[in-house]
Structure 1
């Protein structure tokens, strides 16, 4: 008899294929290594933990082109400095544990809204909440501690910015080419995509990948042709033929970070598309920051849910006498990073399961003798492994993130290993449960309405034969709205059928317009 795996468990344990993971992981490891080594070598290991949060700047802007990456990483640096300052202020306040949990929830909520608004990408608002949480639990006795912690974080963040941007000197076009290769592979994957709702996810991912590739390749003729090939496959003009998909995969494999770009001859339709994309450059620049989009209701739910769940977890933990109450608040914020109840359930399963197993690794890591230098080496190893795993599966990453968080928090502040492990397990489970409760109670009731409005807009634009770029943008908005609404309970099946029909008709209109 075959065992049936619950859909949420199956989705939460799915391991995604990745590319270019090593480069990012090594950058992140180097960024963390600099403040850890410098401060430990100068006899200040207790301050290394604070500086590490500035190094977490390197976790943002993962694969963005260098111009956008420079802005994202700089903004993340300022946010992390502000988060550390908020945590230090909480540590200076009376009843610092309660104030600290409130600060974690508020910082996590604000950071999540801003990261969603500007589409910053992983790790989103979580690292800002984590920085606030740990610094709120570190000893602070005078206002000078605030200036010291902010300066340490800012210095480490500046070094991280330089490390993250250093690749420009070696391969300035690498992020751009990576975006194009991903678009080619995502379009090729449509040949294997199923029909119906399951295929919507593959088409949405392919559409987003092609959109990013167009923005990255703008003005570079040879690369624009490659993106046009990907969009031709996305449009379904070949019927998602396996031979066309194989050609796209071969092109992706030949597109290396350096070296010649594969040269192809564009069809007449693709030449028109390239010219159209160039004319629409202003519109395309506006797309990533659309106001009033379907993610806003979900972001508002995350903000309020993180505040309520974090505060409730902190208060409950405070009165039970357990230590490290901020872990519960951080876990609640982590669960609420998902844009829907379904994604929050997946994140809760991943965080609770990964933390439980990761605690066994953490216990062994904390128990290793050797003083601060052993902790530094363990932190660096955990950081690199975490970044290699997080893009594959968040639950797998928790196997390394759990010891990483414990080691950073305890660097220079030794705690018995059994106390650490017990507190972390209880706090994580508590935070996940409260985060799920907040996601269930604070429903994104506007998601269905936004989806209905997005479907109507696509149907109207298709009927009126509006500009192809405008119609494509509306389809992307509809897909985005569907992803959020489908993650909430009780979505009418007829709505899914309507989305599929609207997308099919829009694709036909786009193809005929070409």
Structure 2
């Protein structure tokens, strides 16, 4: 265990040099989130623009596939994201039902991602969208903070635009002629082996305990952050050392990301600056995520915080940031501890 922890700590300072180039992937992700936000902000609908960001997470899936293959895979991803958003909106008025829904979404979307071999980034953004949706449309003083119907339409529009961006390379004849595997090869299954079942069991434990601990130490309405952190740390590998490494990267990356979030928070008060910062963060995330996971988290944390604060109209950034740190530690610790269910490696 100590050897694995030492290796995980040292990996924080390693930037993979053999990862494939991701410039175009990062650009597609940045366009997917930045163009709808920028256009709607220019038209005076900044709030709706920021809400489309949840749908833009579609662009993060099947990123390394050809455009014709993305055309087959991404409708399923978009459908799951929109369904998670709808469930988050539906259950938002009730803390108890939101907590139950969080467990269902965490386990259900993980079963989908593992069973169909969806690949990176796995189920984490499904869980995140569910939690964000509940917070963005939560009830305060008997009224919704944001209109649920408008929000869901914005998410669907963001997902649709991301899909079109993902298919944009098809304008080139060479891309249209590129061989594409059938959907049964791209999403084989559903089938869950021993390793996948172990991952699901870990996620169930993380979801239940994450909700309880977050409700006790932070805010029950934001327990999704602890759970999504745990899901991200679990990842896609049923190996104990992988859990330790991901936990270290997630915790350190989020702590540094929280500091960055506080630094860029004043920019979020300016509409144009918010568009530029969110777009730049999304680009940087996709550029570095396969090279150093902790470094990606440095950018993911302020991105999600900026989206949440801007979408809910909250003026305070320090409070949510501190809560994110607590939730990250909770989720990471739970994920690392449950890693003992896996074989040594």
TM range (shorter): 0.7 to 0.9
Q: RCO (CA 8 Å, sep 6+): is it higher in 1 or 2?
A: 2
- Contiguous gaps of at least 5 residues in structure 2: none
**Is 2:238 aligned against 1:337?**
no
**Is 2:64 aligned against 1:166?**
no
Q: Is 1:104–1:130's contact at 8 Å kept on the other side of the alignment?
A: no
Q: Whole-Å Cα distance in 2 between the matches of residues 126 and 321 of structure 1?
A: 21
Q: Whole-Å Cα distance in 2 between the matches of residues 175 and 136 of structure 1?
A: 42
* Compared CA separation, residues 169 and 138, structure 1 to 2 (3 A): same
Query: Could you say which residue in structure 2 is the equivalent of 1:7?
Result: 7
* Compared CA separation, residues 353 and 170, structure 1 to 2 (3 A): same
Query: Could you say which residue in structure 1 is the equivalent of 2:29?
Result: 28
Query: Could you say which residue in structure 2 is the equivalent of 1:367?
Result: 266
- TM-score norm. by structure 2 comes to 0.86
* Compared CA separation, residues 13 and 153, structure 1 to 2 (3 A): same
- Contiguous gaps of at least 5 residues in structure 1: 177-215, 219-281, 445-487, 492-514
Query: Could you say which residue in structure 1 is the equivalent of 2:201?
Result: 304
* Compared CA separation, residues 290 and 313, structure 1 to 2 (3 A): closer
Report the count of equivalent residues: 334
Query: Could you say which residue in structure 1 is the equivalent of 2:279?
Result: 380
Query: Could you say which residue in structure 1 is the equivalent of 2:306?
Result: 407
Q: Whole-Å Cα distance in 2 between the matches of residues 128 and 12 of structure 1?
A: 26
Q: Is 1:86–1:132's contact at 8 Å kept on the other side of the alignment?
A: yes
How far did 1:409 drift? 1.0
How far did 1:326 drift? 2.4
| SS of match in other structure, 1:411 | helix
| SS of match in other structure, 1:6 | helix
Q: Whole-Å Cα distance in 1 between the matches of residues 65 and 186 of structure 2?
A: 16
Q: Is 1:27–1:164's contact at 8 Å kept on the other side of the alignment?
A: yes
How far did 1:288 drift? 6.8
| SS of match in other structure, 2:120 | coil
Query: Could you say which residue in structure 2 is the equivalent of 1:53?
Result: 54
How far did 1:309 drift? 1.3
Query: Could you say which residue in structure 2 is the equivalent of 1:315?
Result: 212
How far did 1:382 drift? 0.5
* Compared CA separation, residues 84 and 28, structure 1 to 2 (3 A): same
| SS of match in other structure, 1:19 | coil
The Cα offsets for residues 442-487 of structure 1, whole Å up to 9 and x where unpaired, read as x25xxxxxxxxxxxxxxxxxxxxxxxxxxxxxxxxxxxxxxxxxxx
How far did 1:328 drift? 1.2
- Tell me which of 141, 151, 154 is aligned to 2:153: 151
- TM-score norm. by structure 1 comes to 0.59
| SS of match in other structure, 1:364 | helix
How far did 1:312 drift? 1.8
Q: Is 1:318–1:325's contact at 8 Å kept on the other side of the alignment?
A: yes
Query: Could you say which residue in structure 2 is the equivalent of 1:105?
Result: 103
Query: Could you say which residue in structure 2 is the equivalent of 1:127?
Result: 125
